[in-house]
Amino acid sequence: MYCLALGFGSGLAPRAPGTAGSIVALVPFMALSQLPLWAYGAVVLIGFVAGVYLCDVAARRLAIKDPGMVVWDEFVGLWIALAWAPPGWLYVLLGLVLFRIFDILKPWPIGYLDRRVQGGLGIMLDDVVAGLFACLVLQAIALAAGTLL
């Protein structure tokens, strides 16, 4: 359980564990990106539901509201950000950067959700919304570049 909650150990990075977790999340993303969209979505949904439980248990056991070392939320958030990314590493890296910007800056409603929703759902939800924002911006950039899928 802790293996997933801590992002296969990436959450133990001494600096920027959320960014480390997001980078490690690219490894399973490469396999996920080969799935049909419905299967990709199913995996993300399962990851979200499992993450609510995993993050809640880990936070309670660590006695910390939102422990920085718990990065499963970054995995799911990044997968959402990249769900409709056009092919190519440029879009994958841009999606990663956009996701991290939204996750770190927490514009409304991300910050509101981060402060108001407690437990595993709260840990997961702000990253899900950050992933949705990053996905929308990535799609707008792809549309402007003429590479929207």
DSSP annotation string for 51-73: HHHHHHHHHHHHT-SS-TT--HH
Q: Total domain count for the chain?
A: 1
How crowded is residue 38: how many other Cβ atoms within 10 Å of its Cβ?
7
Q: Residue 148 above 70 pLDDT?
A: no
**Arithmetic mean of pLDDT, 9-26:** 95
- What percentage of the chain reaches a pLDDT higher than 90? 90
Q: Alpha-carbon distance 115 to 5, whole Å?
A: 20
Q: Which domain holds residue 21?
A: 2-6+16-145
- Contact present, 1 and 60 (Cβ < 8 Å): no
Residue 149 pLDDT = 53
**Arithmetic mean of pLDDT, 82-94:** 95
Q: Residue 77 above 70 pLDDT?
A: yes
Among the listed residues 81, 103, 73, 79, the one whose alpha carbon sits nearest the alpha carbon of residue 5: 73
The answer to whether residue 92 is domain-embedded is yes
Residue 20 pLDDT = 97
Q: Residue 12 above 70 pLDDT?
A: yes
Q: Alpha-carbon distance 64 to 45, whole Å?
A: 25
The answer to whether residue 77 is domain-embedded is yes
The answer to whether residue 133 is domain-embedded is yes
The answer to whether residue 11 is domain-embedded is no
**Arithmetic mean of pLDDT, 105-119:** 95
